[in-house]
Chain A
Amino acid sequence: QKEVEQNSGPLSVPEGAIASLNCTYSDRVSQSFFWYRQYSGKSPELIMSIYSNGDKEDGRFTAQLNKASQYVSLLIRDSQPSDSATYLCAATDFYNQGGKLIFGQGTELSVKP
């Protein structure tokens, strides 16, 4: 199993719908998780971080962490065409405390007007 896995997509949702992005992880990563949004040709932008079990909400975004099942998800409510981007799930390397981020392959999201 890869340390951090995501479905590559593309995931297509209509405007106004909820987009659900999922990520699973192995024991090789620590308990710090991050979601980055990356528009084509641009750099990753941090949109959510989550460190403890449960939900964390910020505006239209909700991150969910389930340690028992080893998955982390990102929900985007009222999706907009401007949300169309690649979403990267990342976790810190448990064995390397130097700050190494382990990324999933990214999920491409397309929001159709």
Chain B
Amino acid sequence: DTEVTQTPKHLVMGMTNKKSLKCEQHMGHRAMYWYKQKAKKPPELMFVYSYEKLSINESVPSRFSPECPNSSLLNLHLHALQPEDSALYLCASSPQAGTDEQYFGPGTRLTVT
């Protein structure tokens, strides 16, 4: 089973709202990732968690705040977003953070109004 789940599937939020995206995997993977993807572009890495610790932050603005409560869960807290933050947000996981295969969840389509 290579399933990564994400909720919600769609999210519309105003620029003053606070919301969270959730990601879950039960494959025993120890690395989890957040990516952002705009239309007609490849995914862009935002954050990497390895063994529940933040190992990579790709200079993401502080209005995006990741959290890894345990080895199966990954959250992305959103606050004071801008319309240009509208995108598909993808969670992925891999056995280890390194050269292992990464498996993506279905994504959350975010629209900021």
Answer yes or no: are A and B bound together in one complex.
Answer: yes
For A44, list chain B residues within 8 Å (CB): 43, 90, 104
A104-B42, A106-B42 known; A99+B107 contact, CB < 8 A? no
A43-B104, A43-B106 known; A100+B99 contact, CB < 8 A? no
> Are B50 and A99 touching (Cβ within 8 A)?
yes
Q: Is A97 at the interface (CB under 8 A from chain B)? A: yes
Measured CB to CB, the nearest residue on chain B to A44 is B104
Q: Is B64 at the interface (CB under 8 A from chain A)? A: no
> Are B42 and A42 touching (Cβ within 8 A)?
no
Q: How many residues of B are counted as interface, with CB atoms below 8 angstroms from the partner's CB atoms?
A: 27
In the complex the two chains form, what is the Cα distance from A99 to B50 in whole Å?
9
Q: Residue-by-residue, is A9-32 near B (CB-CB < 8 Å gives 1, otherwise 0)?
A: 000000000000000000000111
In the complex the two chains form, what is the Cα distance from A41 to B60 in whole Å?
24
For A49, list chain B residues within 8 Å (CB): 101
In the complex the two chains form, what is the Cα distance from A96 to B99 in whole Å?
10
> Are A88 and B56 touching (Cβ within 8 A)?
no
Highest count of chain B CB atoms <10 Å: which of A44, A90, A97, A106: A44
Chain B interface (Cβ < 8 Å from any Cβ of A):
2, 31, 33, 41-43, 45, 48, 50, 55-56, 58, 88, 90, 94, 96-107
Known A-B contacts: A46-B103, A99-B98. Give 12 more (CB < 8 A): A36-B104, A43-B88, A44-B43, A44-B104, A96-B56, A98-B97, A98-B98, A99-B31, A99-B55, A99-B97, A103-B43, A105-B41
18 contacts between A and B (CB under 8 A): A30-B99, A34-B102, A43-B104, A43-B106, A44-B104, A46-B104, A51-B99, A88-B42, A92-B98, A97-B97, A98-B55, A98-B97, A99-B33, A99-B94, A100-B45, A101-B45, A101-B102, A105-B41
